[in-house]
Every structure is written in structure tokens, then in C-alpha cells.
Amino acid sequence: MRQTRILRLIAASAVSGAVVALVPGAAAPAREAGSQSNASAVVRDVNGAVLGTVRFDAAGGRIVVTGRLSGLTEGFHGFHVHAVGVCDPRATDPNGVVVPFLSAGAHLNPAGTTHGHHAGDLSPMLAATDGRAVTLTQSEQLSAARLFDADGSAVIIHALPDNLAHIPVRYSAAGIPGPDAASLATGDAGGRTACGVVTR
């Protein structure tokens, strides 16, 4: 079973041209040869503890996103780039209720699409039983211009899995088939548990 998972990850890394070390204690995923490191984000939880780093590398006309984090709860977590580069764990909503990292705004979404098609939508992150997670994904919608627009951007890790608004019409909410408004906006990924401002 473990060998199968490793082979799948190696295959995924080959798509982007990157090489990933997959043994305990190994270095973070390596950059593609000749690629340029555009940006990174140091990810912290609501108490300010550093959980790890996410990096954005330009390679072959796309952005390769790599990261190694710890201190997460076991299981899948929504993982997105959000539209504002502010990570305030004491941010409040319009009613004055504290909502950690609400300051990072919504998902990066310059095209105004629904969830699953946002520029900031990334593959969900899977944390092992020890709370560690390694991620490697790619995006053709991210760019330096979008990451570093007037108000910047931030990486957010959510508390729950992200369904990417994939709710077939055989399911319904309030009698309406398919995903509801919340799913179309966020993929039901839950609260924001960690945040990192994207910097050059």
C-alpha cells in the first residue's frame, strides 16, 4: 500500500518535472531544473506557530506549488491561495465576531468563477497521523502578477476537506439539486486554521 502511494506521488511529480524526496526526514520537494523560485509563504497557525513553508516556482509556463508542513490534524484539508496578503488571526467579521484569517479575503478569483475553477484553488492537502503533510501541485492560472497584485495574496489551510463543489445533481440542498451557494463559494472546507502571506 505504501509503495503504491509513493509510486503515485512520483508519477505526479514527473508531470511537473519536479523530483520529490518521499522518505521520512527528507528535504522538501526539489525545484525543476532551470526553474525560478518566484515566491514563498511561511505558514502559521492561529497562535503564531510556524507550521512550514509553501513555495511557488515558475516552470514550463505554469506555477509549481510545493510545501512541507507539520502540526495539522490528520486527514484532508482545503488548500487555497486567497486574494489578500494579510494573515490576522484576530480578524473580525462585520458583526465583530473573531474569524481567524478572514483578513485574507476570499479565494483568489479574478475571473469571477465558482469554486473548483478559482485561480487560487489547489489540490487538497493530506496530513498523516503525525500531522505532517507534503504537497506538490501545479497551476496554469497562478502567476506572479496575480500573486503580487495591489493587495497581495496569502495561502490558507482549512480545517476540513474540500469537495471542490463537486456535488452531483442526484444530491440536493433545500430541494435544489447539486451544490448550494456555500459549496460553490468554498467547497465546504470549513474554518481557516493556518495562513501564510505570499512574499517574493
The CATH architecture annotation of domain 34-199 reads Sandwich (2.60)
Q: What is the DSSP letter of 143?
A: -
CA dist 200 and 184 (Å) reads 31
* Helical spans, DSSP H, in the chain: 2-16, 144-147, 181-186
What is the Cβ-side half-sphere exposure of residue 122, based on CA atoms within 13 angstroms? 30
Under the banding of pLDDT at 50, 70 and 90, the label for residue 184 is confident
78 φ/ψ angles, rounded to the nearest 5 degrees: -60, 140
Looking at the DSSP assignment, which residues form a beta bridge with residue 157? 79, 194
What does pLDDT average to over the chain?
A: 84
| Per-residue model confidence as pLDDT tens digits over 34-79 | 445 579 999 999 999 999 999 999 998 899 999 999 999 999 999 9
CA dist 154 and 53 (Å) reads 12
Please provide the size of the chain in residues. 200
Nearest residue to 200 via CA among 135, 155, 138, 148: 148
